[in-house]
């Protein structure tokens, strides 16, 4: 048995998780009681309609005394719900446990054993990702941008399930960003990080495409220089295009031929003028849209709204 205090944080996002909740708690309690001197289980009720209390009350008293239930007053995104649990974690190590591993809580000991090699953050790494065909390109482009245009080490096959040491968690909790995407935040925190392979694939998140696209934009604008680089290339292209237009106009005026060797007359130029105005108008709109994303992110940050509101805390 390890002489450590372990905290397990798990988020209840839907009523579909409740039927498995008693078995999950018994399995986790069994693993933790056999391997660790002390432990706690922190459940975050992310404003699901059916209260989890009815599933917890019939459990053994020895199990219930280790459980804390945080009831959020309104539904928030999963990252903010996880943060509510991390804020109240007291353990030497904290484990974030996803629903995919409800029937396999032994991953807790596998993650902890890896920390004994000197690692502060250890995550589960899948060998594959199950995602619908129409979303595959989105994921590939998203993670390519994250890796290519940031200095962060981000694993696109990483599960959210991981173990974090106390010192790494204290550093993580100092990053109070309103626009949270946890994988880059783990990378920002740093510390020695490793992974444990698992056969459980990464499943597609139950979110609408619009929500995924918004999350992708938040992550790209918050943690990468991609849009800044894109603006630079737009400027370079526009400048080169402008030089080409000027050279072409002068060549037609003085030689009667354009830069492609075609005979031309320097008369009205109506078509060319319309195309030129349309192109630069589109580029201007794109620039404004990109800048609006940054301004929106800044606006959300400076408002300093709470990331979550806890309605009540219940101990059993």
pLDDT for the residue 94: 93
Q: How far apart are CA 224 and CA 167, in angstroms?
A: 26
Query: According to the model, what pLDDT value does residue 81 have?
Result: 85
Residue 312 pLDDT: 57
- The 8-class DSSP code of residue 263 comes to B
Instruction: Give me the residues paired with residue 263 across strands.
Output: 257
The per-residue pLDDT for 58 is: 81
Q: Give dist(CA 225, CA 157) in Å, integer.
A: 22
Of 162, 163, 102, 100, the closest CA to residue 129 belongs to 100
Instruction: Give, to the nearest 10 degrees, the angle between helix 209-223 and helix 270-303.
Output: 80
> In whole angstroms, what is the distance from residue 82 CA to residue 43 CA?
9
Q: CATH classification of 2-221, choosing from 3.30.43.10, 3.40.50.300, 3.90.550.10, 3.30.70.20? A: 3.90.550.10
Alpha carbons 225 and 227: distance in angstroms, whole number:
6
d(CA 34, CA 32): 5
User: CA 20 to CA 56: how far, in whole Å?
Assistant: 11
Per-residue confidence in pLDDT tens, the chain, 316 aa: 788 899 999 888 887 788 888 888 888 888 888 888 888 989 888 877 778 887 888 878 888 888 888 888 888 778 888 888 888 898 889 999 887 787 888 888 888 888 888 898 998 888 777 767 767 777 777 777 777 777 777 777 788 888 999 988 988 888 776 656 777 777 778 788 888 888 777 765 655 666 667 777 777 777 777 777 777 777 777 777 777 776 776 677 667 776 767 766 666 665 566 567 767 777 776 777 777 777 767 766 675 655 655 655 666 6
Judge whether 72 and 84 are in contact, CB under 8 Å: yes
Q: What is the pLDDT of residue 150?
A: 73
Tell me what pLDDT residue 266 has.
Answer: 60
Q: Quickly tell me which residue has 């432990």 as its tokens.
A: 39
pTM tops 0.85? no
The pLDDT, as a whole number, for residue 129 is 72
Q: Where are the domains positioned within the chain? A: 2-221, 226-303
């Amino acid at each position: 048995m390890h002489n450590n205090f372990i905290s397990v944080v798990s988020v209840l996002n839907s009523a579909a998780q409740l039927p498995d909740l008693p078995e999950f708690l018994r399995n986790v309690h069994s693993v933790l009681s056999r391997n660790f001197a002390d432990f706690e289980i922190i459940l975050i009720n992310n404003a699901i309609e059916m209260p989890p209390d009815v599933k917890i009350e019939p459990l053994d008293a020895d199990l219930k005394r280790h459980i804390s239930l945080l009831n959020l007053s309104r539904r928030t995104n999963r990252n903010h719900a996880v943060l509510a649990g991390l804020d109240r974690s007291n353990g030497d190590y904290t484990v974030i446990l996803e629903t995919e591993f409800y029937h396999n809580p032994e991953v807790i000991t596998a993650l902890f054993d890896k920390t004994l090699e000197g690692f502060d953050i250890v995550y589960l790494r899948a060998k594959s990702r199950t995602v619908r065909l129409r979303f595959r390109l989105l994921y590939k482009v998203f993670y390519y941008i994250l890796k290519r245009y940031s200095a962060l080490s981000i694993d696109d096959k990483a599960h959210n399930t991981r173990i974090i040491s106390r010192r790494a968690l204290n550093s993580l909790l100092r990053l109070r960003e309103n626009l949270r995407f946890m994988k880059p935040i783990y990378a920002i925190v740093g510390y020695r990080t490793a992974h444990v392979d698992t056969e459980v694939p990464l499943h597609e998140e139950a979110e609408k495409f619009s929500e995924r696209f918004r999350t992708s934009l938040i992550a790209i604008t918050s943690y990468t220089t991609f849009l800044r680089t894109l603006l630079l290339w737009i400027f370079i292209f526009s400048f080169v295009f402008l030089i080409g237009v000027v050279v072409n106009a002068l060549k037609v005026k003085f030689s009667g031929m354009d830069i492609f060797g075609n005979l031309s007359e320097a008369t009205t130029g109506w078509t060319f003028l319309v195309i030129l105005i349309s192109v630069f108008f589109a580029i201007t709109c794109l620039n404004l849209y990109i800048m609006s994303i940054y301004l929106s992110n800044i606006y959300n940050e400076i408002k300093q709204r709470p990331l979550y509101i806890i309605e009540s805390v219940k101990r059993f």
